[in-house]
A and B are shown apart, each in its own frame.
Chain A
């Protein structure tokens, strides 16, 4: 069997998380109009200000058109054919009864818990061992949040977004949309109108969050969009590390995921946001898979604040995602470390924006793309140095690794500097996993699969080093699965 055939055999392996959970769901019928927006808001018993905010976003969205500049291709999405709210019944009934009351683990549908177990999410005591607090979002609603008491002791708020709307409306009012305004872009506007749930994190002044916080997102329902919203606020001197993971069932239809993540770091605060994204990527012929159209932005608002994005992007049929930093405070720091893997017919257009506004602001971008199969993988990045950003520095490194010869890696770096004291460096490389490398490793007794993993992991090491320990292991395993034997 030639290497090419081996690859194809291996690449056609199944998506491990493709199961569907048979659970009674409450779904708002497909279609989008103001009534649907009102209904979502009513289901969550939201205060008037939030309903108005949603409606404004919806009206704005109606005037917008989807972006077309990305290096991705897909048929137009029929937004009227999607359902904008799906909730496991027990949870939604409960939400209606008392949206304010925190849900304990015993009240969660056992089927849901079983599913999270399948996904390997440490929801129970395992969570305690791992020291990870988890918020799990199933389709549109947050199912449970672990460790809330322990976190509350130090004043950390970690709960579902809907809950925060009731328990801390003043914080929501103050920070919601302050980083990604409702009209920021087409998908952010849509999210603002129909977002269903998500996570809220608040780290008060001077507090170092005692554990990693984590959210797992899961799309289960058919023809449902998932629109979650995450808001993380770190007050002066606060530190937090947050991880997000995602999976979805295997379906022939494309599913839309349009999330918004907003981070706010005040003076001397640090936020580290890590993502291991493993949405269903579609099958080997490019059928099905998630459209991952996500807006993530951090506002390093305070002086000496720091925001780090680390992402391992392995899933989704199409990824459109640019976790960015606005370096507003003087001496603030933005970092972006990314591994984007694409196989089969996946399309990735991802990168970052570093907007330097404050003086002596620094940013680092390390982007690693790995393209296999017939995939297309683009890095798109903007480094902007504003007029007042004296002595700003940026270092960008973009490396592309090609496996096989039917895929494409593309780099679209934009650099805009309005201040002559800026120092900007950009390095880019493109390499191919060669037959010689594979043969060399095989001749030392290493299987082709392991040989590929060694090369790919070596290529990604700089980024994996940025991930929290247990997730670095997960990321390596994920890469191994995504690329099994895809050397040609």
Chain B
């Protein structure tokens, strides 16, 4: 059974049609990269899968781990093992990072019938993750993303992902705004999630992330449709030639 199966997905925002029949299957153990020019529908796809209000799905279906994803509430999607990594993680001043980490982990454990993790074990795990993301412990006691640099926000997304251990991570432009050192740290984090029972979807503009996190498949999204799929060489071709030729060839 595939982890994620998107069939003929159409979605609007207001009366603007954005997704025009997406088909995509992600199996456990696979990494997929979705690339495409600005305005092609990449972020909309992420938001629709994440359960954001304001989008209307007009056609198609999405199965996640055997469930009808589109009928699930946002928090239920998360608890079922879907993680959306944000392109622009929002700032929530006053809510400490550590509190968010604890609440979300416990919410997900509870949904899976597990008890709360004891504080000692939790702190140990979190400290190790903070270290691995090369962040300072003080970050745990700052407000969620409040006053974070772009790079810190993205590292925070990956840290949350590693703590929550989702079945499917959907990372929306996690590489944008990162300098080369931060890109490496973030990539290493993503690679650590990689495993035979998990899937990862990377949404990105650039090939450079993909040289650190090697995808099994690369898809090009254009005007709300996947117009071309291939292996990692497609990303290299795209990098070398730009979108224009590929788009022309595909149309």
Residues of A participating in the B interface, judged by any CB pair closer than 8 Å: 2-3, 431, 434-437, 439-448, 450, 454-455, 457-459, 461
Contact = CB atoms under 8 A, between A and B. Distances in A.
29 contacts: A434-B90, A435-B53, A437-B90, A439-B50, A439-B53, A440-B89, A440-B92, A441-B92, A441-B104, A442-B51, A443-B50, A443-B51, A443-B75, A443-B77, A444-B75, A444-B78, A444-B100, A444-B103, A444-B164, A445-B78, A445-B164, A447-B75, A454-B92, A457-B94, A458-B93, A458-B94, A458-B96, A458-B99, A461-B94
B79 interface: yes
Nearest to A448: B75
Given A439-B52, A454-B99, A454-B100, A446 B75 contact: yes
A437 B145 CA distance: 11
B20 to A, nearest CB: 24
Contacts of B64: none
Interface in B63-119: 73-75, 77-79, 83-84, 86, 89-90, 92-96, 99-100, 103-104, 107-108, 111
Contacts, number: 79
B160 interface: yes
Contact of A439 (B74, B93, B143, B164): B74
Of A444, A448, A459, chain B has the most CB atoms within 10 Å of the CB of A444
Contact of B143 (A2, A457, A458): A458
The main secondary structure of chain A at its interface with chain B is helix
A435 B93 CA distance: 15
A446 B94 contact: no
A376 B133 CA distance: 45
A442 B79 CA distance: 10
Contacts of A3: 53
Interface of B: 50-53, 73-75, 77-79, 83-84, 86, 89-90, 92-96, 99-100, 103-104, 107-108, 111, 143-144, 160, 164
Contacts of A461: 94
A440 B97 CA distance: 13
Of A435, A439, A455, A461, chain B has the most CB atoms within 10 Å of the CB of A439
A295 B215 CA distance: 68
Contacts of B79: 445
Contacts of B160: 444
A443 B78 contact: yes
A366 to B, nearest CB: 13
Given A455-B95, A458-B95, A459-B94, A441 B50 contact: no
A427 to B, nearest CB: 14
Contact of B107 (A437, A440, A445, A455): A445
A225 B53 CA distance: 47
Contacts of A446: 75, 103-104, 107
Of B53, B90, B95, chain A has the most CB atoms within 10 Å of the CB of B95
A450 B74 CA distance: 13
B94 A455 contact: yes
B92 A458 contact: yes
A458 B53 CA distance: 24
A443 B160 CA distance: 11
Contacts of A440: 86, 89-90, 92, 144
B92 A447 contact: no
B74 A443 contact: yes
Nearest to A440: B90
A450 B95 CA distance: 12
Contacts of A444: 75, 78, 100, 103-104, 107, 160, 164
A450 B104 CA distance: 10
A445 B89 CA distance: 16
Nearest to B107: A445
A3 B51 CA distance: 13
Contacts of B99: 454, 458
Given A436-B90, A440-B89, A454 B84 contact: no
Contacts of B84: 443
B104 A445 contact: yes
A92 to B, nearest CB: 48
A169 to B, nearest CB: 49
A441 B94 contact: no
B95 A454 contact: yes
Contacts of B51: 442-443
A459 B77 CA distance: 27
Contacts of A443: 50-51, 74-75, 77-78, 83-84, 86
Contacts of B74: 439, 442-443
B103 A2 contact: no
Nearest to B99: A454
A450 B103 contact: yes
